[in-house]
Chain A
Amino acid sequence: MGSQMHINRDDLVGRDHFIACPSCDHLADLSSMAEGDRASCSHCGHLLCVLHRAGLNRVMAWSSSALIFLLLACSFPFLSFESSGLKNVMTLPMTVVRLYQQDMPDLAILIAGFIILIPAMVLLLLFNLATTLAYGRYNPWTNVMCRFVFQLQGWSMVEVFFIGVLISLVKLGKTATIVTGLSFWAYAAFSICFILAITGFDRLQAWRRIGELQEAG
């Protein structure tokens, strides 16, 4: 790591193995990275890059399974609630619809975005990008999609919502009977696949692949 002290400026420009840490601006030399390695900034500890093995195939697999699980999660009963001999069955979209019916359209749209719409959009973009990059079918839209997918990612709250579901279960479990439906398990599977899909798509690795395709095309 001490080699960083003697960086010659002319060696840097146009060489893609040098990057500047987005957290502290110190330069890092990634030329010795091999597949499967991860690199962190030696000054601030920020994770710079993970070179995934067969990364694009994994992203294709996880993002397509996540999309299927999300579709299932939206179509079947999520939870059912039983108290005093009465029963109410709830689906996942009902969390949003009920807010809308209670005159809170803004909150309904926000929550729909955080738990369903943004994650779905991220998955569609990831699947599209992974196939495009794996088969080398680069087009100008690839840039737009890749920029967009990383901006959008930070706004999905899939895992937060799932913990919210677990808390609701415990909260009500004392006083009423709660039964988990098929969609509950589908959403759990969706959360796991979603997280694996987004963590499997490394920003730098993806952009370097795009750079290669730009030069080839």
Chain B
Amino acid sequence: MSASTARALDLVSCHSCMKLTEQDLQVCPRCGSDLHPRKADSLNRTMALLITSCLLYIPANLLPIMVTEQFGRTSENTIISGVLVLIKNGSIPIAAIIFFASVVIPLGKLAILFYLCWTVKFGSKISSRQRTLTYRVTETVGKWSMIDVFVVAILAALVHLGGILSVHPGEAGLAFAGVVVLTMLAAKSFDPRLIWDRDVLTNE
């Protein structure tokens, strides 16, 4: 097994153009990118970004994401209270989509990335293939968390009838967008090859 990886043969694959070259080269001869056998400082960077996004997720949920002004009365909604209002009004499918995009995806992503970092250090019973697949799914679905922020931006531009009925964006929007950007960066800085490096070590 171990002889069929690039690292085992002292080769390095360019992260940008996928060219396979000798490990002692500093710069890719085809595209000019810096060459690293693995993403630089992957675990530390990923962990730092994950912890920051956890902290930012708190104001993202406590602050209002949307402020509705109707006949002079204003009502504020957080992400969760917005979902509850949708359920009360009978819009169950939309409530489910928003809940999934704003709560399940970001929290699931944080949990999975923390778990993957942990398994790189301490190993896991789940196969490397399974964990790599989980990582790829996490990386792909991450941007769908932005849905609620987009919905608020659209409603704020669309529902704009002065004092009679207006929707304003709340402060949670920026915090939540920050969570999405930071978790996307965390997923990009995690190197799934570290999962497999451990297999190679234990097989030898």
| Interface residues, chain A, with chain B CB atoms under 8 Å away | 4-5, 7, 9, 12-13, 16, 18-20, 22-27, 43-46, 79, 81, 83-84, 86, 88, 90, 94-99, 102, 104, 106-107, 110-111, 114-115, 143, 146-147, 150, 154-155, 157, 160-161, 163-165, 167-168, 170-172, 174, 176, 178, 203-204, 207, 210-211, 214
Contact indicator B31/A167 (Cβ below 8 Å)? no
24 contacts between A and B (CB under 8 A): A13-B11, A18-B20, A19-B19, A23-B192, A23-B193, A24-B5, A25-B13, A25-B196, A26-B5, A44-B128, A81-B161, A95-B153, A98-B153, A98-B157, A102-B168, A107-B149, A111-B150, A111-B153, A147-B32, A163-B147, A168-B158, A170-B91, A170-B94, A204-B17
Do B22 and A13 touch across chains, with their CB atoms under 8 A apart? yes
B133 CB within 8 Å of chain A: yes
Q: A25-B5, A95-B154 are in contact. Are A164 and B147 (CB under 8 A)?
A: yes
B94 x A7 contact (CB < 8 A): no
Q: Which residues of B contact A18 (CB under 8 A)?
A: 20
B26 on the A face (CB < 8 A): no
Q: Do residues A157 and B146 form an inter-chain contact, with CB atoms below 8 A?
A: yes
**Cβ B11 vs Cβ A106 within 8 A:** no
| Distance in angstroms between the alpha carbons of A36 and B180 in the assembled complex | 35
B111 interface contact, C-beta 8 A: no
Contact B151 A164 (CB under 8 A): yes
Interface residues of B in 76-121 (CB under 8 A from A): 86, 89, 91, 94, 97-98
Q: Nearest Cβ in chain B — how far from A188, in angstroms?
A: 14
Please determine whether A9 and B153 come into contact, CB atoms closer than 8 angstroms. no
Residues of B within 8 A of A96 (CB): 153
Enumerate chain A residues within 8 angstroms of B177, measured Cβ to Cβ.
107, 110-111
